Each structure stands twice: as structure tokens, then as C-alpha cells.
Structure 1
């Protein structure tokens, strides 16, 4: 198959203007494709564009409440406007689709409950992975990564991968609060290595407010996720909303143990024997701290228990996912 890339540039970093440009460009591309072949199948993503055919949903804006209390007024106003527009576009695009593909059972139920999409129009296709790129980490990789980030072998390192903007949806504030409690009761050197772009100065200030300025290292936006994860002992994701949670998925593929909130779609894939690593309430700081402490004390055993789950996730590649999508969508004559 041929792939043609259409780049929609972000003017002045304005997401709102970019969304409008993306929808306009999408309509044009779809129109041209249907002129060339009226039987062509059109797959769009969420509210980004209206295709009236297949919609592949990676987030349900109606199910994601804003987590911006206490943030600057300007951000809150822009955030609320963005969410209003996203929900409006989401209603139009998804309700018009003949087939809706969800990335988790969680997303499927949110589509049914929030948008009234009939169950018979929804199919669930989980995300795949690159089994080579996310093959289990080696001891040499771990040592090199620790050296790269200035971490010692004695350090117990918690990893976090997610947006670090003003919005607290990904739960980094919960992780900081849990780490503060751990420092008060743990006898080991605790460190946090966080990857993700956004309001880094704000989170440095927050880290200092919790008394963690010497424990938290903010990497910022990076394309070297494997290197970041190689340096950590345990990935922690207390996200308040995540339709799936690809970072958690990839960490498990790499052989890392993970703690995740039940509000992430990927949590539904955890086998029963790993259910203790699912936190029921993303805002429960005490429960998160307890689970982190238990995992650290039993780290070797926890790693071992994640092995079979890691193998299972690596066995389903991006190619496998693509084949499943094609079998659902079909191809034009």
C-alpha cells in the first residue's frame, strides 16, 4: 500500500488553530480520495476529522475531566475552551461513523455511556508494540542508563512517563506526594526520573515544595524512552484518565514492573496475579505509597511475576494490530 503524509503545521504553537487546520485538510484529503475511488475506506481519529466511515478512538474527551485546579487563569480558560471544542468535534465525528474502533474495553464503555454509541458498532483493538525496539532490557543497558542520568546502583529509581503540563491528569502530583511519605519511612535512597514535556519549572517548584528537590530529575521531552526506562526499577503511573496507556505497555514489554491506576485502559489487561499492582483510586496517595514500598522490598519477585505478561504483550506486534484493523475495516476494490 502507498502512504502519503500530509503535514499540518502548528502556527505559533496554537493547538486550537492547528485543530481547525487539521479538520480542513482532512476533509480535503478525504474528498480527493473519494473522487479517485468512491469505494475507498476512510479511517479518522476521534474528533480530528469527519469521515462518516471508520473512527479509531484513542481518547474520549467526554470521559476526561479537567485537572487544572489552582493553575493560572489563562491556562484554565484555554483548557476549558479546548475541551469544549474537542467534545463538540468528538460528538460530530464519532456519532457519524459506521464503525468505531476503541483501544480498550474502557474506551468502548465510555463511548457507549457518554456518546450513546451502540455496542454493535464498536470493536476493540488493543495497541501493539515493536518486539525488537522493546525487547527486554539488558544489564549493560541498565548500567549505562544509570551512568547517563547520574544514578548509583544503590538508588531505588521510580520512573514516570507522561505529560508534565499544568493539567495534572497524569498524576505526577500524586507520585510526588507518595514519595514524600516514602522518604519519611524508607531506609533506601529514593529517586524519581520523569520524562515528559510541559511546565517543567512548575514541577520543579512542586518537587521542592514536597521537599524532593534532590530526589526528582525531570528529563523533559525525549525520544529516548528506552534509555529512560533502563535507568528505573519501577514505573509508576497514577493517571487520573488514560484511554489506554502506551508507556505502561512498553515498560512491561521491556521487563519493568509497573504500578498503574485502574483508570488506565491498559489495567484491564493485567492478569489476576498482578492485580495488586493496580491502584483502585488514582488520588489515593497512601495506597500508592504502600504499593511502591511493597514492590521495592520484593523487587526481584515482582520482576519475575511480570515476565509472562511481558512476553504476552511483546507477542502482539504493530503488524498484528494492523492486520486486525484491516480485517475489520476491509479494503476497497
Structure 2
């Protein structure tokens, strides 16, 4: 039995990197390995395994930023203990300085967030970014092996931080095909009835944090305003996500008298929302991967996404028309949505075969690839 130490904020099934870390921890536990988890939260399913040990780190004032020094310190303490006995250590980005395996889900050096909210939040953003940049650089330059979630991430590390390519291994995220799958027409009809969505109007869905402009909701909002001025556009936009800018967008929608935008905030039933929708839009300015887009495709949902997002690498040629070349170009997004709207059935048929292929690569497949690289 080999010992593994994994360090991250949360091992839960919500969120991109959280879901990925959960999957790796569960896979190692199923192989009978001794798994040590340094984190704030761990899902009960993981704790049920006999060889999983949770070294809990308090979350100070419910803040990941304030708690990050303690998480890093606790990670190093356990790393020293386990490596003395031949154990392996996997950290995430700059969250813990340890020169073994590093799993990169986001490159801070590749994107500078734009804050549109209050001065205090802007100052916090500047401080945290400087901290993250410094920790990221140190951790990645000292890492023995680096796992990345896309070739986009690999190229960013080479270009922005000068990381040698021979240290980098691309392993794409997996999926749970029992949760994310194309619904039958009967299932979709039933879901829309439950959600109160009309059967005869197309539903476009946006999923992403509204704390800054990284996810590109401002581009989508401007495009939606233009579309709503057309008499032949009757789509409904469903917005999933919370953040400091949510009240701002709600107010702007009301001021513009746009009644066909529904802000649902945080939702735990994202798989069902995707299965009930008709299209997903993600004009993101930076996305190391894009698990939400991946999940949408697995649900058979045409997904418009920025061409520079990591997940775009997994789009076959027949879906290239769904890629947004310029995330700031409102007119391009309008044209993409209009084209999809006029040929909805064809796009759905094209995505269906891709959803089957993506669904065959599970979280266990991802975790096994990492296990084999790091063994």
C-alpha cells in the first residue's frame, strides 16, 4: 500500500477543480491506497473509505484567501511525514509549496481579472493576485511533475512561467455519464414542466460566477439585448451563478425591460437544468478548461464557447462553428446564436455523437491516467 497526500480547499462534487480532486481521491481510495486529505471540506462518500484520513484545516471567516497560509502550512507538515516513508504528495497550483506533483487547474499568470465593483473588493483583488502569482511561480518551478487540464494550460505555463515542457502532462477532466447524459424527449419534456419552462420557446443557459467579467456575461447580456429587439427571437436566457455583480445585472435587465432573462442564482441541480435547456453560451475571457461546457456537451447540448478555452480543444471539426473567435465581439455572438436558432435540430444531432464519445471518458479514466503518471 502506497501513501498519497492531496492538498486542496475542498474535496466535493461541486465545482471544476473540486470535482476533479474528489475523483482522484476516490480512485486512489478504491485502489486500496492510503489517502491523506488536507482540506477545509471532504465529502462524506470519501470519508467512508477505510484508508482515507482527513486532516481538516479551519476556514477562517469563511474565506479561502485568509485560510490559505494555514492550508499550506498543514500541507507541508503532513508532506514531510509522508515523504519520509516514501509517500507521494500532490498539491494544486500555488496552494502548498512542495516539490513533488503539482496539478494545475488555473494559471493566474495567464489572466488578470477586471473588477467592476467597490474599491475594497478591487484592492482585495490586487492583493490576492500578487500573492497567487508569487506562490504559483515558486510552486511550479520547483515541481517534479506537473499535471495540466488542457494544452491551453500547458502552453500558458511554458510561455508565462518558462516551465520546461518535459515536466508537463496533459490529462483532461472526466465525466460521470450516469449524471450527465442526453435526455430522452420524454425526460426533457418532464424536466421543463417541473422547472416551469415553456415547451415552445428555446432556453439558452449561462453558468458561471458573476464576481468579475472573466466568464463574459457582459458580452452575452449585450448580445441578448440586440437579439430581443428582433421580432423573430423568442428565446429565454437562464443565468446560473452568484457573485458581487449579480445585483448589477438584475438591475440592468429590469432597466432595459428585458423580461426573458431569469436569474436563478446558485443551483444544485445543474445536470437537470442542462438536460432541460437547448443551448449553453460561455463567451469566457479565460478558461483553463471549462467543465461546465464539457458537462453541457455530455448532455447533448450545443455549447457556444470561446475558441481559446481549454475545452475547445475537444471540439471536433464538425462543431468548430460553435467556437467564438472573439469573446468581446457582441455582433459575432449575436450571429452565432441566430445561426444556432435557425438550425437547432441539426446542431443537436451533431452534438449527440460527441456527447457519447466524451461520456466514455470517465472520472476514473482521468484519475487512472494521473495515478500512472505519478506512480
TM range (shorter): over 0.9
Say whether 1:4 aligns with 2:50.
no
Name 1:297's counterpart in structure 2: 342
**Quick one: distance in 2 between partners of 1:73 and 1:311?**
47
- Following superposition, the deviation at residue 209 of structure 1 comes to 4.1
**2:238 counterpart SS class:** strand
Quick check: 2:227–2:233 contact (8 Å CA) kept in 1? no
**Quick one: distance in 2 between partners of 1:217 and 1:28?**
47
Say whether 1:197 aligns with 2:242.
yes
Name 1:135's counterpart in structure 2: 181
Q: 2:76 aligns with which of 8, 27, 32?
A: 27
- Following superposition, the deviation at residue 186 of structure 1 comes to 4.5
Change (3 A) 1:89 1:210: farther
Quick check: 2:82–2:88 contact (8 Å CA) kept in 1? no
Moved over 6 A (4+): none
Which blocks of at least 5 consecutive residues in structure 1 are unaligned?
A: none
Normalization by structure 2: what TM-score? 0.83
Change (3 A) 1:202 1:8: farther
RMSD: 1.4
Aligned length: 325
- Following superposition, the deviation at residue 139 of structure 1 comes to 2.5
Name 2:213's counterpart in structure 1: 168
Quick check: 1:155–1:188 contact (8 Å CA) kept in 2? no
**Quick one: distance in 2 between partners of 1:7 and 1:174?**
40
**Quick one: distance in 2 between partners of 1:26 and 1:210?**
50
**Quick one: distance in 1 between partners of 2:186 and 2:61?**
42
Where do 1:76-91 residues align within 5 Å?
Answer: 76-91=122-137
**1:132 counterpart SS class:** coil
Q: 1:229 aligns with which of 257, 274, 282?
A: 274
Say whether 1:281 aligns with 2:326.
yes
Change (3 A) 1:140 1:87: same
Q: 1:318 aligns with which of 338, 363, 368?
A: 363
Q: 1:51 aligns with which of 98, 108, 111?
A: 98
- Following superposition, the deviation at residue 5 of structure 1 comes to 2.7
Name 1:97's counterpart in structure 2: 143
Which blocks of at least 5 consecutive residues in structure 2 are unaligned?
A: 1-32, 34-50
- Following superposition, the deviation at residue 210 of structure 1 comes to 4.1
Q: 2:64 aligns with which of 11, 15, 18?
A: 15
Change (3 A) 1:242 1:98: same
**Quick one: distance in 2 between partners of 1:27 and 1:81?**
24
Quick check: 2:216–2:282 contact (8 Å CA) kept in 1? yes
Q: 2:170 aligns with which of 107, 124, 131?
A: 124
Structure with a larger share of its residues in strand: 2
Change (3 A) 1:19 1:209: farther
**Quick one: distance in 2 between partners of 1:186 and 1:272?**
33
**1:108 counterpart SS class:** helix
